[in-house]
Amino acid sequence: MTGSNDRIGSSTVGVSTPAVELSGITKAFPGVIANDRISLRALRGEVLCLLGENGAGKSTLMSILSGLYQPDAGSIRIDGREVRIGSPRDGRELGIGMVYQHLSLIPTLTVLENLMLGSNPGIVLDEVRARARLGDLAARLGVHVDADVRVGALSLGQQQHVEIIKALWKDSTVLILDEPTSMLTPQGIEELQKVLLGLKASGLAIIFITHKLHEAIAIGDRVVALRQGRVVGELGPEVLRTGTPHEIQGRIVEVMFGEDPTRGPQIAELREDLAAERSDARTRLEGSPEILRLDGVSAPGARGQHGIEGATFVVREGEVLGVAGVDGNGQRALAEAIAGQRRSSVGTIHLGGEEVTNLSVGARQRLGLRYVTDDRLHEGVVGRYAVGLNFVLKRIGDEPFWRKGTIDRKAIETTARSLITEFDVRTPSPATPIGKLSGGNIQKALLARELSFDPRVVVFHKPTHGLDVKTIAAVRDRIRALAARGVGVIVISTDLDELIDLSDRVAVLFAGRIVGVVENGPQAATRIGELLVGGEAAA
């Protein structure tokens, strides 16, 4: 706590004065009150975890604190002083650093340029010092970041690292992280947690938004839950530090959703016997026909990213094949090669016995191939189009949404309404531009689009990132149900628990190569971990 004084820069501020105090913050958007008289305080030397279902208003609240949005009502105090934060720049000057949920880096600039942009007011940019600082912060996060690669060429996980480094770049009093771990591997998350604990000890106030309960328990001193724009509960250290993790998770879920968590296995994290459920795979898939086959497929990667080399595997009808690996090891190249967005230079791809190697994206879609991209904002949706139109963007021109070549808005709206209900997409209306939805709700809409219209093979790339615990459970159930109907499924994820939960087999991707395939079962997690490490050793 004593270390905080040099950051406060004013001896009149007592230790007990909250670093941040929000009172009565209200923010309405067309058709929804995102924040409804929210009051919240964050103390120095404390990690405050902000939890809540998708669309609860977390990102909005934090964007108000960072200066991106202006509240309709309410006041903000920083170190006891009332302030008006007119822009993110004002926010930075007040010592508020933020990692936004949706990455805000400029893709055409290099990593170093992006980092120096936000910080350096002078004309002469001190590149040498910036490089040193980048190296230092990267080392603390335990990651390697190439300073001179264009950000657009990085995987989303790597971009997330840069984003975190950017928030740490300038010493801040308040550090806000909006789902900073959604793209990271378990090791990455551990390193981040260490860094945050270090920062906390030096007197920062940290506000951490996450959907992963165990993260909240591991680093949170306090948990505040939002629901429908309001604060619905708070758990202090006394709760977070007593009982088994399982019990604490139960408590958190209870305040988040206001209901008894023991009713049914709705929350993925609360389930314990994950692997066992899938271990009957061998018998179940016996004799099931091949639906997707890759033979020696190689495809180039974007600059600074791995492509894939010699990918060979088979997915059977009804099978879930997981793909594990650190983000940036060829996941995107693999997914895009299957989807047809990236032409493979060598090898062949068969879909249900038919060769599709040279078919276009659209032709493969018509054969029943679906790809749920991990880049929902830049690729998966058109942000300024209505939710409804986004549902049918992969079927432009098809009946019944286009009749005799002209658009049938009624038909689109009808379908949209039923998908919105079925997938619980929280949106004011089907006509709302999809970019206005909360991150998790955009993800739900994306999944709704791909899971409908009778797929035969679905490639999921980080299918549950940004979803709340309840929705994750629902989505995983849907993926299982999909497989049970005979669909071939590939799940690419950095989240090992997710892969264990879903897969029949897990392929491990390292540096663009599949270094091993593991049958799911009791020892699977250990084996996958070994392969990941082994791949690293072999490289």
Partner 1 sequence: MSEAAGRTAVNPRRADGLIGRIGLALGPILLAFLTTAVLLAILGRDPVAFYRDILLAGVLRPSGLQDSITRMAPVLLVGAGLIVSFRASLWNLGADGQYLLAVAFVAGVGSRVIGDLPPVLGWVVLAVAAMLIAGAWTFVPALLKARYGLNEIVTTLMMSFIGIAIANVLIKGPLKGDEMVPQTFVYPEGTMLWDLPGTTIHVGVVAALVVVVLVHLVLTRTSLGTRLDVLGANPRAAVHMGIDVPRLIVVAFFLSGALIGLAAASDIMGIFGYVRADWDPGYGLKVVPLVFLAGLNVIAFIPIAAFFGVLSIGGDYATRKADLPSDFILVFIGLLFLFMIVTQYVSARRARGEPVLPAWFRRTLPARDATEGDGG
Ligand X SMILES: Nc1ncnc2c1ncn2[C@@H]1O[C@H](COP(=O)(O)OP(=O)(O)OP(=O)(O)O)[C@@H](O)[C@H]1O
265: its two tokens: 């296995």
Please pick, from the candidates 19, 22, 25, 32, the single residue that binds ligand X as defined by CB under 6 A: 32
According to the binding rule CB under 8 A, does residue 384 interact with partner 1? yes
According to the binding rule CB under 6 A, does residue 438 interact with ligand X? yes
Residues contacting residue 301 through CB under 8 Å, at least 6 positions apart: 307, 308, 330, 332, 333, 512
Please state whether the peptide bond connecting residue 18 to the residue before it is cis, i.e. omega within 30 degrees of 0. Answer: no
According to the binding rule CB under 8 A, does residue 402 interact with partner 1? yes
Q: Is 260 left (phi over 0), alpha (psi -120 to 50) or beta?
A: beta
Q: How far apart are CA 72 and CA 395, in angstroms?
A: 40
User: Count of residues binding partner 1 (CB under 8 A)?
Assistant: 40
Residue nearest to ligand X (CB): 440
- Compose the 38-57 pattern: x for residues touching ligand X by CB under 6 A, - for all others: --------------x-xxxx
473: its two tokens: 């459970």
In whole angstroms, the minimum distance from the beta carbon of 352 to ligand X comes to 35
- For ligand X, give the closer residue by CB, 69 or 510: 69
Our CA dihedral for 511, 516, 520, 522, rounded to 10 degrees, sits at: -100
Candidate segments 54-62, 140-148, 300-308, 364-372, binder of partner 1 by CB under 8 A: 364-372
Q: How far apart are CA 13 and CA 401, in angstroms?
A: 62
Please pick, from the candidates 229, 322, 439, 455, the single residue that binds Mg ion as defined by CB under 5 A: 439
Please pick, from the candidates 101, 159, 503, 520, the single residue that binds ligand X as defined by CB under 6 A: 101
DSSP annotation of 305 reads S
Maximum pairwise Cα distance, the chain: 75
In whole angstroms, the minimum distance from the beta carbon of 156 to partner 1 comes to 13
Residue for token digits 């993110």?
88
Binding positions for partner 1, 50-89, rule CB under 8 A? 69-73, 84, 86-87, 89
Binding positions for partner 1, 329-348, rule CB under 8 A? 339, 341
Please pick, from the candidates 36, 90, 221, 519, the single residue that binds partner 1 as defined by CB under 8 A: 90
Query: For 206, phi and psi rounded to 5 degrees?
Result: -120, 130
Question: Nearest to residue 176, comparing CAs of 91, 100, 75?
Answer: 100
Please pick, from the candidates 344, 441, 464, 503, the single residue that binds ligand X as defined by CB under 6 A: 441
DSSP annotation of 171 reads -
Candidate segments 15-23, 25-33, 52-60, 315-323, binder of Mg ion by CB under 5 A: 52-60
User: Count of residues binding ligand X (CB under 6 A)?
Assistant: 20
Q: How far apart are CA 359 and CA 364, in angstroms?
A: 6
Spatial contact of 207 and 62, defined as CB atoms under 8 Å apart: yes
For ligand X, the binding residues (CB under 6 A) are: 29, 32, 34, 52, 54-60, 101, 426, 436-441, 466
Residues contributing to the site for partner 1 (CB under 8 A):
26, 30, 69-73, 84, 86-87, 89-90, 339, 341, 360-362, 364-365, 371, 373, 375, 378-385, 389, 393-394, 396-397, 402, 405-407, 433
Interface ranges with Mg ion (CB under 5 A): 59, 101, 438-439
